[in-house]
Copies of this chain bind each other. A is one copy, B any other.
Amino acid sequence: MEFNILDADAQSNARAGLIKTDHGEIETPIFMPVGTAGSVKAVHQRELKDDIEAQIILGNTYHLYLRPGLDIIRAAGGLQRFNGWQGPILTDSGGYQVYSLSDTRKITEEGVHFKSHIDGSKHLFTPENVIDIQRAIGGDIIMAFDECTPYPCEYPYARNSLDMTHRWLKRCCDRFDQTPALYEYSQALFPIVQGSTYADLRKESAEVVASFERPGNAIGGLAVGEPAEMMYKMTDEVCQILPKNKPRYLMGVGTPANILESIALGIDMFDCVMPTRNARNGMLFTSEGIINIKNKKWQDDLSPIDENLGGYVSQSYSKAYLRHLIISKEILGAQIASIHNLSFYLWLVKEARRQIIGGSFASWKTAMVKKVSGRL
């Protein structure tokens, strides 16, 4: 994996870069649609490419390991061959899902014992086997196995958890370095900064993470309920330590405003279920602000979903038609809203990149944060 910074904003830490993977290039800053179980919900693979113009999508280790399981993914030759998405894929390590989805789980130094949310079967994730699993799934970028602390989190718990996450990181890196990629392309391992909302822990973690000298670095454990200002403060502290010449990935973030503010702090990569999950519930992100399409005010609005966005769904379907579909619980409503919201997120980061390169990012960001946060 290669990363080059093409331009940096003079008034912030924002940068425009280019990641090269064996499955193609990624222009940063980038938003990565979430394809939890091997599918970005309600979106065809060709729509990801042609309509949304996604450059990389996510898969999830916890979900894919449980279903469909590794045998079939290995037999297919990796996740891309299995699901037909031909661009780069990043797999999350499953750390977050083990904590949020499993009924019962027990964290030990060895790893995490958990029960499947699907059939109650018992499993153990360790730093080592999570690397093995991600080798089998075959993401271009794979993530270290960590503990994602909740918010709020007492200092002593955060302190101890962080130490263990760092020991696990060493085990992840060792396993990664001792094992080959299983398919005909290379994989990069990203370590994850933790430390809850404590600046000293975050700084320490960023130093440790940086010391592993991996091709890219991630920040986890944020956007878990803390105030946005606290998230920005932690992100800022960490970005000042993580090496400038490597991509920085802020996991699970966030709203359009969160993304713009974090780009200004030096973040290059984002993922979040918000654009797709909220779409299924009728919440649309547009270039003019947020729309709850279920509101009666859109009932007679025959204008396109977003006049400023190109693309089939944003232009071909009206707000009134989409409202009718969502109200009637028609599957096509979820499809249209998901493609639209993801198109908007990809448009937003592409536009941010263009503004960084053009030298106008700071003023554009201020205006845009206000616009995209308002409700229409």
Which A residues contact B (CB, under 8 angstroms)?
A: 37-46, 67-68, 71-72, 75-76, 82-84, 299-300, 302, 312-313, 316-318, 320-321, 323-325, 327-328, 330-336
Contacts and interface: CB of A to CB of B under 8 A. Distances in A.
Contact of A72 (B324, B328, B330): B324
A330 B67 contact: no
B76 A335 contact: no
A81 to B, nearest CB: 8
A302 B75 CA distance: 8
Contacts of A328: 37, 67-68
Task: Please indicate which of the listed interface residues A41, A42, A72 has the most CB atoms of chain B within 10 Å of its own CB.
Answer: A72
A299 B75 CA distance: 11
Smallest CB-CB A-B distances: 3 pairs = A68-B324, A42-B331, A39-B332
B330 A39 contact: yes
A325 B320 CA distance: 30
Contacts of A320: 68, 72, 76, 82
Contacts of A72: 299-300, 302, 320, 324
B37 A321 contact: no
Contact of A335 (B84, B313, B331): B331
Given A44-B312, A76-B320, A82-B318, 9 more contacts: A37-B328, A39-B332, A41-B331, A42-B331, A43-B332, A44-B336, A71-B300, A76-B302, A84-B317
A60 to B, nearest CB: 12
Contacts of A39: 325, 330-333
What does DSSP make chain A's interface, helix, strand, loop or mixed? Answer: helix
Nearest to A325: B39
Given A72-B300, A300-B75, A321-B38, A84 B331 contact: no
A321 B82 contact: yes
Nearest to A40: B332
B43 A327 contact: no
13 contacts: A38-B325, A42-B332, A46-B312, A46-B316, A67-B324, A67-B328, A68-B324, A71-B300, A72-B324, A76-B320, A82-B321, A84-B317, A84-B321
A332 B75 contact: no
A76 to B, nearest CB: 6
Given A76-B302, A299-B72, A41 B324 contact: no
Contacts of A327: 67-68
B324 A44 contact: no
A134 B43 CA distance: 33
A323 B321 CA distance: 31
Nearest to A299: B72
A42 B335 CA distance: 8
A13 to B, nearest CB: 37
A44 B76 contact: no
Contacts of A71: 300
Given A39-B330, A41-B330, A46-B312, A83 B321 contact: yes
A40 B43 CA distance: 16
A316 B75 contact: no
Contacts of A299: 68, 72
Contacts of A40: 332
B300 A44 contact: no
A28 to B, nearest CB: 27
Contacts of A76: 302, 318, 320
A336 B312 CA distance: 19
